[in-house]
Amino acid sequence: MKKLNVAILGQGRSGWGIHGKYLQTDTERFTVVAVVDKMAERRAKAEKTFGCQTFEDYTELFGRTDIDLVVNALPSWYHAPVTIDLLKHGFNVLTEKPVGYVPEDIDAEVAAAKESGKMVAFFQQSRMAPYFKKIKEVLASGVLGRVIEIDINFGGWARRWDWQTVQEYNAGNLYNTGPHPVDQALNLLDYYDGMPNILCKMDIANSFGDAEDYCKIIMTAPDRPLIDLTISSCNAYPFGTYNIQCEFGGLWCNLSEVKWKYFDPKEAPEQHLIRTPLSKPDGEPAYCSETLPWKEGHWVAGEMDTPFHAAVRDKYTNLYEHILEGKELLIKPEQVRQQLAVIRECHRQNPLPRMDQK
């Protein structure tokens, strides 16, 4: 099996904890040949772990022809400019989220890839998470009927004081965590040909910076379900990740379990509209009551179905097959562009004061 040589930029929580951790397990298809990081101790750790070369600056990779893929896991504000620079210097690039600050960053990345004849891909792996695939499968089966409302909850309760609480660094809950649930929400909305209507409320509750740690987004579009998305660090009682209300039943899930219940309308008791007051046989007032033939489904993630392994595996499989076999990338640039457009609209509606502009 042919191996692809990979260079990882950044050895922080993403470059080390996600990409580096996964690539240590997939040594049949990938070899980490270079790591870039400003911190000497992280470079030393990478050399010991991967047996690779390390560099302080990504420009030291320029001119190399033995690198098949560069993973841009630098801090958020470097994602767009460094990705464009890498593409212009002849590298295929996988860039971490957020892939840019404004939708025009996507346009520039795609244009640079087209001009250089190289690939730009976006690390939106959460759409490949097993629980999300199961949601899509159940909804596509039609057993739940028409989808009315999709409630999505990402978060819990936590205080945070690192650079990812500062707007100057493209931070805040919406840029940090948001690309994953926003990507899922837009995929379920399936309104890629237009811009959904957005109503957003942001707040700062427990953040030590100037960026939001609470974000509520309501999405609507013609002939689509309403989507209610919360990304919060001040939710002390989170209960589930998805709660979907449908015509014939509903679905609930967290990251490792999916439950759904529904009835077949053909098997339900026959009813018809009664305009007069309902009464019990003894004449007492009555309320509509019936016993429906409920059916239930249940899915539990297996040992290898955790979203932090399976989704990353599937993302890298798609990249591997795209680079070597020309298979289509599953995450489209125009879809990620819509995501950034939604994020920018949320910020437009909530202009929070910035520390760097005081």
Instruction: Give buried/exposed letters for 27-43 (b at 16+ CB in 10 A, else e).
Output: eebbbbbbbbbeeeebb
- Residue 274 counted as domain residue: no
Q: Which residues pair with 200 in a beta bridge?
A: 217
**Cα–Cα distance, 258 to 307 (Å, whole number):** 13
Phi, psi (degrees; rounded to nearest 5) at 291: -110, 115
Tens digit of each residue's pLDDT (9 = 90 or more) over 245-296: 999 999 999 999 999 999 999 999 999 999 999 998 888 999 998 899 999 9
Tens digit of each residue's pLDDT (9 = 90 or more) over 183-198: 999 999 999 999 999 9
- Residue 62 counted as domain residue: yes
User: What pLDDT shows up at residue 100?
Assistant: 93
Give the residue from 106, 77, 316, 59 showing the smallest Cα distance to 175.
77
- What is the value of pTM for the model shown? 0.94
Q: Which residues pair with 284 in a beta bridge?
A: none
- H or E element that contains 215: strand 214-220
- Residue 112 counted as domain residue: yes
Among all chains, which residue has been given the structure tokens 């976006």?
122
The pair of structure tokens assigned to 8 is 């990882």
- Residue 166 counted as domain residue: yes
| Residues 239 and 201: beta-carbon distance below 8 Å | no
**Cα–Cα distance, 120 to 65 (Å, whole number):** 17
Q: Are residues 135 and 190 located together in one domain of the fold?
A: yes
N-to-C CA span, the chain: 56
Q: Report how far apart, in Å, the C-alpha atoms of 143 and of each of 85, 110, 189, 199 are.
A: 48, 39, 18, 30
Q: What CATH number is attached to the domain comprising 48?
A: 3.40.50.720
| Residues 355 and 202: beta-carbon distance below 8 Å | no
Q: Are residues 114 and 132 located together in one domain of the fold?
A: no
Is the previous residue joined to 265 through a cis bond, with omega within 30 degrees of 0?
A: no
- Residue 334 counted as domain residue: no
- Give Cα 29 distance to the centre of its chain: 25
**Cα–Cα distance, 241 to 259 (Å, whole number):** 12
**Cα–Cα distance, 232 to 181 (Å, whole number):** 12
User: What pLDDT shows up at residue 358?
Assistant: 56
Domain that includes residue 149, residue range: 127-264+293-309+339-357
Q: What is the pLDDT along the chain (358 residues), one digit of tens a residue?
A: 799 999 999 999 999 999 999 999 999 999 999 999 999 999 999 999 999 999 999 999 999 999 999 999 999 999 999 999 999 999 999 999 999 999 999 999 999 999 999 999 999 999 999 999 999 999 999 999 999 999 999 989 999 999 899 999 999 999 999 999 999 999 999 999 999 999 999 999 999 999 999 999 999 999 999 999 999 999 999 888 999 999 999 999 999 999 999 999 999 999 999 999 999 888 899 999 889 999 999 999 988 778 788 999 999 999 999 999 999 999 999 999 999 999 999 999 999 988 877 5
